[in-house]
Amino acid sequence: MNVREEILNLKRELNAAILAHNYQPYEVQEIADFVGDSLELSLLSTKLDAEVIVFAGVRFMAEQTKALNPNKKVLMPIPSALCSLASLVTVEMIKEYREKYPGAPLVVYVNSPIEVKAEADYIVTSANATKLISKLNSDTILFSPDANLAHYVAKVTGKKVIAIPPTGHCYVHLLITPYDILEAKRKYPDAIALVHPEVPPEAQELADYIAGTSGMIKFVSRSDHKKFLIGTETGMLNRLRREFPDKEFYPIVPNADCIGMKKITLESIYYSLKNLVYEVVIKEEYMHKVRRALDRSFEILGV
């Protein structure tokens, strides 16, 4: 039996589901029950009757899924699959800014550790950050941890968005420079450039469209164009090529690889199911606070 068949058998035996982020390797996306963006997947997980969920993605995504599914076993195939952006913020930093800007709502990006999410007034993804912030009754917003996304939100909403920390960034998206976008456009002049709002502001300026991973999928599905330049983590091309086989996708930076995302393999998923490891455990106190912040956010967003 090959590893794919072994995984499918274990999934049936254990009543398990595999959720894979849009950045996951092709073969992982193929075997997953659902592929999507971080928030999309954790929301969907609450509707599944599976007792075990294997999350093929990085730690903050698995933690968020656990927070929404306290009675399910949530497994990470590779416990060291981390998001470096999420590691840039601490509760101490948040407290310092809260003191400096009393009354300013704290909006936390899903790419953050669970203890920081527990401090949040609202929790967002790149797909809904501008919508939520534009609806808040405050002109000054504290936003953590991505400063480039904070810049994008400030530009769209016209609000003062203070990034915590001021230089919070994703090393993968920092690789996508204006030069790379111009070069890709020169090579493929009839392609549309889609970039993630985590890229630096100078690169955002050159994009034809700025969106998170689910926003890119929506844009392509509605577009008559055939060719697209993709300015985000390279795994996104797997999702787009699977979903739109008649369209062409080119990475703006072909080595924009997220180490955490790329750690997951079919073998690690098999090992995870076979041995029921590595279980995500989070403090009850955090689960409760995170759920409250999410509920507050969904109410404003009308989800």
Q: By CB under 6 A, is residue 69 in contact with ligand 13P?
A: no
Draw the binding track, 119-138, toward ligand 13P (x: CB under 6 A; -: no contact).
------xx------------
How far apart CA 190 and CA 82 sit, in angstroms, is 36
- Whether residue 161 contacts residue 211, with contact meaning beta carbons closer than 8 Å, is answered with no
Draw the binding track, 151-190, toward ligand 13P (x: CB under 6 A; -: no contact).
-------------------x--------------------
> Is the Cα torsion angle 142, 143, 149, 153 positive or negative in sign?
negative
Q: What is the DSSP letter of 269?
A: H
Binding range to ligand SF4, per CB under 6 A, among 83-91, 207-215, 240-248, 287-295: 83-91
- Whether residue 143 contacts residue 163, with contact meaning beta carbons closer than 8 Å, is answered with yes
Q: By CB under 6 A, is residue 111 in contact with ligand 13P?
A: yes
Considering the complex, state which of residue 77 and residue 215 has its C-beta at the smaller distance from ligand 13P.
215
Partnered with residue 107 across adjacent β-strands are 122, 143
How far apart CA 276 and CA 280 sit, in angstroms, is 11
How far apart CA 199 and CA 148 sit, in angstroms, is 6
How far apart CA 170 and CA 86 sit, in angstroms, is 9
From ligand 13P, ligand SF4, none, interface partner of 84 (C-beta below 5 to 8 A by class): ligand SF4
Considering the complex, state which of residue 277 and residue 303 has its C-beta at the smaller distance from ligand 13P.
303
Residues 188-217 that bind ligand 13P (CB under 6 A): 198, 212-214
Burial class (CB in 10 A: 0-12, 13-18, 19+), 153: buried
Tokens of 278: 């590595």
Q: By CB under 6 A, is residue 63 in contact with ligand 13P?
A: no
Among 35, 78, 261, 266, binds ligand SF4 (CB under 6 A): 261
Binding site for ligand SF4 (CB under 6 A): 58, 83-85, 111, 170, 172, 233, 258, 260-261
Binding site for ligand 13P (CB under 6 A): 37-38, 111, 125-126, 170, 198, 212-214, 233
